[in-house]
Structure 1
Amino acid sequence: MGGPENFPRKVSKSRPRQSVLMRAIRISESARVITAVGGTTSVISKSSQTTHARPWRSALGALLLTTTGLATAVLAIPSPAAAQAARSYNIPAGSLADTINSFAEQSGAQILYDAALTQGRSSAGLQGQYGVAEGLSRLLAGSGVTFRQTGANIFTLEAAPRSAEGAIQLGPVRVEGASGEAGAYVPPQAVIGNQPEAYAGGLVARGGRLGVLGNRDFMDAPFNQSSYTSKLIENQQTQSIVDLLTNDPSVTIDSYRSGAFEEVTIRGFTNNGTNNGRATVNGVYGILGVAPESLERVDVLKGPSAFLHGTGPTGNTVGGTINLVTKRAPDEPITRLTTTYASDAEFGGHLDFGRRFGENKEFGLRFNGRYRAGDTALEHNSEKLGMASLGLDYRSERVRLTADLGYDDARIDGVRRFLFVDSGVPVPRAPESSSNYSPPWTYQDRKTKYGMVQGEVDIIDNVTAFASFATSNNEWSEYGFISSIYNIDGDANGSAFAEHEKTIIYTWQAGIRSEFDTGPLHHKLNFDFTKFTHKYYFSGNYDYASFETNIYEKSNVPDQGAIIYPAEYIATTNQSGVGIADTVSVLEERVQLTIGARRQEVGDAKAWTPIYALVVKPLKNISLYTSYIEGLEGGEIAGVEYANAGETFPPNRYKQHEVGIKADWGMLATTISAFEITVPGYISVPGTSLPTLTLDGKQINRGIEINVFGEPVKGVRLQGGVMLMDPELKKTQDGAYDGNRPVGTPTVNFALSGEWDTPLSGFTLTGRVNHTGKSFYDAANTQVLPSATRVDLGARYAFKAWDDRPITVRFDVQNVAGSDYWYPFGALTVSQPRTFLLSATFDF
């Protein structure tokens, strides 16, 4: 784990209308050639979709037809508003291919589909007046085919999913990325309403948010990124973001959520999870307290990302960045109630309510509320957790607006805090995971309020301006007990403490995203400005007596009396940055080069940070990439104990080189990435009188990550992988630790979860295995933390009630074996106890 444990530190496209009717046509995706029977060949330019007659390509189109087998019906392409207008249809029953062609003629829609998809299928036809999307939905009813709206009056057909009972049903109608639903056309450079779709199996998305670069498909991203869906959040009964991140092999968990804070490590560097605004929310830093029940996606980008996001509020984003994507109202009404139970006696409920309003469903409202309270599986530990969030949005042909409001309130009693170990003392075995060595009178209180507004305007079809403002007010207090172990038998000495912390955060962001062509080159040119203000208040009371304890016994330390002082103003941190990047591509985006730079300011310090990335696709389903990116953190000020007292160091610069290969096999995706992250460290150089503080230390984490996700066999879903690391300390104080492994960095981390839909309709078995290799508590590598393995098992049953309403019952056992182990961290925290989770979800 990088940082203070190892080095001494001081505390569009235009959409022209086409008038030529073309039937029974074939399209080549690779050449973008559309050939009409008895007509000319039209090339739809990627940037403008302008039609040019090129008869010489007719032969090429016919040749490509034999290899692609993709059929489409193309008619006039009206504006998005026209696509919503009702039309009169008179289509008799017949083969699916014939009825689709008739629908294309009568609706003026462009419909894309694989010719094999319609073979042997039929349709009952369509009579009456309907909008294009509604009419197509009715035409396809019962055919086993559904569709996605992928542009202005452009629809792509695909096989419909099967219900829990195995029956074919019409899948959701959706605009490409528009929160999975139909609506106004969203240009490709936009972010709001352009969320990448879920990959096969639905547990992981095809892509996610890459800061200023916008949303990118995983095959186009020059980094290793995982994007987890709300489906996974629901099916794993996720109670915290840390629960969800257990699925990622690049992430190691640093603490069990026995308190209000969550700690994780990404690629061997502390991230602090979603604490202190270190995660972004909808691409913006500074929002705390967003619960998993409010989320549609969780993106995990591995590696530093100063160019993509700017610097975080308090640093510690070297190993990666977590981005939380909030829910939006779907086109179809949702009213979902989930009742929950967690051992030993914690009960709760969650309401998810969404509606859209307006003639074209322009306005959306999504509310999520959750309350959970009771005793946990940890001895004398209980919690009361309440949250409420409201997501609002508006969408029109060229304007998209969103707003998020939220409140989170957490009270945890009997907090099992982390432990320290004295230097030279072997790390004792971990106590039982369900035991609690902390006194029962300890507690944590946290209250968070947040708000965010974001907007996008399509200035022209291929240029989108965006802006956002976010603020959060976070107050936290703790009355706790901290101990340090001084022998192998687990004897410790500790004392109480009382702390009160408050943060007020404001974030502004604005910029432009665009796509255009210059000759054979296609550009994705993005620009953004960010500003971040962090006001920090704190007070601490440490005037308490010391007591002898033992980690294997219940604490008998009497209540010391909580005296918590009002939080006093400490400091205000101001950060701002301007970033610009251009992704230049050729050969239908088979070769993509990204070059960019950000000018970042932290207080009075200023620095440039670049990005260089190259993506090459030698085959359609194979992507090779290499990238260089940096992280930035404010520099230290040398203290009075150094000869250079008062010297302000420049921002710390973390450097990452990464290469990788990704493969999309259709129903299964595999990725391999290799990385090297170099982090500077402060060391003290002896002098004639006082030592000098210098920034000459170094930590290098090298690693290989292998990831897999998808549904390789119908009804079998997998996601996970392994990370192998070779972390090393260099240029440490007097060379004492040169060549050693950094604190809390295992050389292997494995995570694999899976689901199997059994022959019993609606019944699914689930499981997950996590393994973390050996690591060290100290930089001298004398205090060993053994390797550990955890197994989770579960099942769910989906069925319909007497009134045909869907019900899903879920049961999970986390840490089935009740394994007792230490999490790899700069301090010691004990593993999660065996925990039983039961829930029932009702859709109304």
Structure 2
Amino acid sequence: YLMNGNKKFLAMAVLCAVASVGFVLPAAAEETMTHDLDEVIVEADKDALPGGYVKTKGNVGILGTKDVMDVPYTQMNFTKQNIEDFGGPNQALDNVLVNMPSVRQTGTMLHGDFSVRGKSTNGSFFYLNGVPGMLGQFMVPAFAAESIEITAGPNKAISGSFPAGEGTGVAAVVNMTTAKAPDVPVTRYRQIFSGKSGFGEALDVGRRFGKNNEWGIRVNAEFMNGNPTHYKSDKNSQSFFANIDHQDDKSKTNFLIGYQYYEVEDGMRWFGLDAASIKAGKLTHLPSAPNSKNNYSFPGMDKVHEGTIMVLNHEQKLNDSWKVFFNGGWTHSNLKKNITGLSSKLTITNDDGTYAGRYFTRRTPSHKYYGQIGVNGEFKTGTVKHNLVLAADKSWSKSWTGVVGGTGLTNFTGLGGNIFTGVDPNESVTIPDFENYHSSSARFWGVSLMDTMELGKSQLLLGIHKHNATSTSYSDPSKGAVKATSVKSDATCPAFGFVYQPDKNIALYASHSEFFDSGERVSENKDNNNLYYENKGDIMSPSKAKSNEIGVKYENKGFLATLAFFQNKEANNITVYNNDFTKKWYTQDGENEYKGIELSVNGRLNDKWNIMGGLMYLDATRTRTEKGTYDGYSVAGIPKWTGVATLQYNPDKDWSIIGRAVYVGSTPIFPASNDIKWTVPSYVTYDLGVKYKTKFNSTPVTLSAMCYNITGKDYWIAYGSGLHLSSPRTLMLSATFDI
């Protein structure tokens, strides 16, 4: 249900009362409680490292579930506990994913973006139970997840075809596995309070039944309402997921169905830098970051998304060595309302912090379908053991764009203010009626063949993926005759991997992988300077991304470390202007090359201390540009150094104290042209939390408090050549009841 004002007050009072239990309860009251939790059954992951945040096993695309020591790539598998402790209604999902050092936060409540090894991506490119394209940019139902697995680097051979989405999505293979019913029944209720007035509640129920518990159902529901932050915003969401599974000696089946509704009013945090003002000398430097509690939202700003998802996985044994499998998915997604600043941002035009903007209003429905069928078998040739996977898949996608009143995509009412004082309170927007036109469609099909060969202490992975795609872009009919631009493309993407384990604790590995991009559609939207791309509606030339990696992994006594050296390459898509900034084009020019070193450590330090985190150095430069004009230039929005360090202290079995520091080094941006380089300052943020397990009467309760950005630091987050403003200090409280 959704809480009204009285219910909010009552819920807050109950939550505060519950949160105080075990913290400030007098001795007399404590006699009604027990701290002996030996009989409490806790749902735990047997593959989780000490601390409970990272698993040693996870999904690796069509290769299935593998131990991290057998994977020739950098991989991190986040547990449900990690998602619950670091996620929340006031945090984008990247607040969980940043616990992997190659991930950098670039998201907000409005945009679920993040980057992996310098390449931007978002929830649109997640896999859901191994099926791609079912989720959205800011619609990832992490509350229903059992784990999130990240395999760094582009890899078509293990990921298969992909329904089209925003951007190219070649950063990594990111899979979300939904929770199944455990062997022990679970009935869990969680209530959350955060920010100014953000209330949330979640229900998690799981049961197994049948003669041998072969059937299972896990139901997760989440409701959010209010302002979960300390800047102006309001969040309202209702989500429901049911996971039904069946398993016996010969087959495994999993069916997921879900519905999501998500609305955020206000919440503007994204800024651009006006190229024309820089050219004219009005904007000469990057203004310092303003107070992150400031309001930059205009009356009427609203983003509403609704979607339905179904995913089916089936595996059937043919005999002791061979099995066939099917993975399929269907989603209807509708960004029903998107009333925000043009390009989702405001544009700074002056050194004193003046900004301007234009309203942007549209909606974006989309339909996506995916099907994959394959066979997996084990056999030997001499002394070599083979694990062979052959899979074919096909995906379809179709998208529409809402037109404002049938006359264009933009409401040209001006929007202005100052970053240091906030939005002009007199600004407002008239919300028009929406009409839709078909904007794009795509069809993809592919075949993957993978063979993992094992001989003694060595494993050799050989794979290949053949891919064909057809991408079609349609013009806005309100601007004249409908124009269709269609591009057909195909590519062959090989994958190689080698793992050598001299003993059970050490694995040396090397790999090569590739990803095929079917071509990005050039936006038809004007920018805040009233400019279209001169090549609007075109589809960029398809291109490949390639990755090479070598590394070493060490696992012993609950501790796991990975050291990786990597090199990724991809086509460089950039915006270029004419001399007086009156025209612009979106074009490909050369390659972006990402070279780096990544170190991650996870697990036990000693009996009471656990660690999670690491460090990454990344050199991202442009190469092979036309006539070498921009060779050696930095890629915008990518710092050379990033790092994360989390310490968990468990003084006893009931208490857990969590501290985390996230570091992002100084970051180059190119706000006007490739010849003008500015630097976004480095920053460090700190989070601090505490959890306490107890009983209220006979009911096990986990009380949790987490403070994000505990020092209240204000800072800019570089995103390409744009900026996000940081979120202020925010407290989240929760109480979880195992009924």
Same fold (TM over 0.5): yes
Give 1:293-372 correspondences, 5 Å limit: 293-312=143-162, 313-314=164-165, 315-372=167-224
Moved more, 248-257 or 422-431: 422-431
Q: Distance in 1 between matches of 2:117 and 2:502?
A: 29
| Superposition deviation, residue 171 in structure 1 | 8.0
Give 1:652-667 correspondences, 5 Å limit: 652-667=543-558
1:480 aligned to which of 311, 326, 340: 340
1:408 aligns with 2:260: yes
Give 1:62-461 correspondences, 5 Å limit: 197-239=47-89, 240-257=92-109, 259=110, 261-271=111-121, 273-274=122-123, 277-288=124-135, 289-312=139-162, 313-314=164-165, 315-423=167-275, 424=278, 425=283, 426-461=285-320
Per the alignment, do residues 204 and 822 of structure 1 end up closer, same or farther by CA in structure 2, a change over 3 Å counting?
same
1:524 aligned to which of 387, 407, 422: 387
Residue equivalent to 1:835: 730
Report % sequence identity: 27
* Cα deviation 1:779-802 (Å, max 9, x = unaligned): 446221111111000101101232
Q: Distance in 2 between matches of 1:838 and 1:733?
A: 54
Q: Distance in 1 between matches of 2:520 and 2:228?
A: 41
Residue equivalent to 1:612: 496
Q: Distance in 2 between matches of 1:746 and 1:788?
A: 11
Q: Distance in 1 between matches of 2:468 and 2:437?
A: 26
Moved more, 746-755 or 510-519: 510-519
Per the alignment, do residues 815 and 598 of structure 1 end up closer, same or farther by CA in structure 2, a change over 3 Å counting?
same
2:419 aligned to which of 551, 554, 557: 551
Q: Distance in 1 between matches of 2:680 and 2:441?
A: 38
* Cα deviation 1:720-739 (Å, max 9, x = unaligned): 10111111112335544321
1:792 aligns with 2:660: no
- Aligned CA RMSD, in angstroms, stands at 2.8
SS state at 1:231 partner = helix
Q: Distance in 1 between matches of 2:328 and 2:521?
A: 31
Partner letter of residue 702 of structure 1? Answer: K
Residue equivalent to 1:500: 363
| Superposition deviation, residue 221 in structure 1 | 0.4
SS state at 1:308 partner = helix
Q: Distance in 1 between matches of 2:41 and 2:605?
A: 20
SS state at 1:583 partner = strand
1:773 aligns with 2:692: no
Contact 1:498 1:564 in 2 (8 A): no
Partner letter of residue 594 of structure 1? Answer: L
Contact 2:380 2:386 in 1 (8 A): yes
The number of equivalent residue pairs is 648
- Tell which has more relative contact order, 1 or 2 (C-alpha 8 A, sep 6+): 2
Partner letter of residue 525 of structure 1? Answer: L
SS state at 2:143 partner = helix
Q: Distance in 2 between matches of 1:492 and 1:693?
A: 24
Moved more, 594-603 or 428-437: 428-437
| Superposition deviation, residue 712 in structure 1 | 2.4
1:823 aligns with 2:717: yes
* Cα deviation 1:682-715 (Å, max 9, x = unaligned): 68999xxxx9998650111100000001122123
Per the alignment, do residues 636 and 799 of structure 1 end up closer, same or farther by CA in structure 2, a change over 3 Å counting?
closer
1:465 aligns with 2:315: no
Q: Distance in 2 between matches of 1:775 and 1:685?
A: 21
| Superposition deviation, residue 529 in structure 1 | 1.2
Residue equivalent to 1:727: 620
Residue equivalent to 1:783: 678
Per the alignment, do residues 539 and 638 of structure 1 end up closer, same or farther by CA in structure 2, a change over 3 Å counting?
closer
Partner letter of residue 625 of structure 1? Answer: Y
Q: Distance in 1 between matches of 2:98 and 2:440?
A: 35
1:810 aligns with 2:694: no
Residue equivalent to 1:33: none
* Cα deviation 1:175-221 (Å, max 9, x = unaligned): xxxx96xxxxxxxxxxxxxxx82223321010211112111111000
Partner letter of residue 600 of structure 2? Answer: N
Per the alignment, do residues 324 and 645 of structure 1 end up closer, same or farther by CA in structure 2, a change over 3 Å counting?
closer
Per the alignment, do residues 358 and 498 of structure 1 end up closer, same or farther by CA in structure 2, a change over 3 Å counting?
same
1:579 aligned to which of 431, 434, 448: 448
Residue equivalent to 1:509: 372
Contact 2:193 2:734 in 1 (8 A): yes
Contact 1:295 1:326 in 2 (8 A): yes
Q: Distance in 2 between matches of 1:172 and 1:593?
A: 39
Residue equivalent to 1:671: 562
Per the alignment, do residues 609 and 348 of structure 1 end up closer, same or farther by CA in structure 2, a change over 3 Å counting?
same
Partner letter of residue 740 of structure 1? Answer: Y
Partner letter of residue 339 of structure 2? Answer: Y
Q: Distance in 2 between matches of 1:427 and 1:513?
A: 55
What residue ranges of structure 2 are gaps of 5+ in the alignment? Answer: 1-33, 404-408, 471-487, 524-531, 578-583
| Superposition deviation, residue 237 in structure 1 | 4.6
SS state at 2:712 partner = coil
SS state at 2:300 partner = coil
Q: Distance in 2 between matches of 1:544 and 1:684?
A: 23
| Superposition deviation, residue 376 in structure 1 | 2.7
Residue equivalent to 1:18: none
| Superposition deviation, residue 652 in structure 1 | 0.3
| Superposition deviation, residue 824 in structure 1 | 1.9
Partner letter of residue 474 of structure 1? Answer: S
| Superposition deviation, residue 311 in structure 1 | 4.4
What residue ranges of structure 1 are gaps of 5+ in the alignment? Answer: 1-163, 174-178, 181-195
Partner letter of residue 359 of structure 2? Answer: A
SS state at 2:157 partner = helix
| Superposition deviation, residue 301 in structure 1 | 1.4
* Cα deviation 1:327-374 (Å, max 9, x = unaligned): 100011100000110011111211000001111001101000111111
Contact 1:681 1:696 in 2 (8 A): yes
Residue equivalent to 2:465: 598
Q: Distance in 2 between matches of 1:345 and 1:693?
A: 42
SS state at 1:316 partner = coil
Query: With structure 2 as the length reference, what TM-score do the two structures score?
Result: 0.83
SS state at 1:212 partner = helix
SS state at 1:460 partner = coil
Query: With structure 1 as the length reference, what TM-score do the two structures score?
Result: 0.73
| Superposition deviation, residue 443 in structure 1 | 1.0
* Cα deviation 1:92-141 (Å, max 9, x = unaligned): xxxxxxxxxxxxxxxxxxxxxxxxxxxxxxxxxxxxxxxxxxxxxxxxxx
Contact 2:499 2:509 in 1 (8 A): yes
Q: Distance in 2 between matches of 1:474 and 1:365?
A: 25
Q: Distance in 2 between matches of 1:207 and 1:386?
A: 31
| Superposition deviation, residue 645 in structure 1 | 13
Q: Distance in 2 between matches of 1:290 and 1:663?
A: 32
Per the alignment, do residues 419 and 692 of structure 1 end up closer, same or farther by CA in structure 2, a change over 3 Å counting?
closer
1:632 aligns with 2:526: no
SS state at 1:743 partner = coil
Contact 2:459 2:500 in 1 (8 A): yes
SS state at 1:569 partner = strand
| Superposition deviation, residue 236 in structure 1 | 3.0
SS state at 1:244 partner = helix
1:716 aligns with 2:576: no
Partner letter of residue 447 of structure 1? Answer: E
Q: Distance in 2 between matches of 1:684 and 1:233?
A: 36
Contact 1:229 1:296 in 2 (8 A): yes
Partner letter of residue 809 of structure 1? Answer: L
Residue equivalent to 1:139: none
Partner letter of residue 680 of structure 2? Answer: L
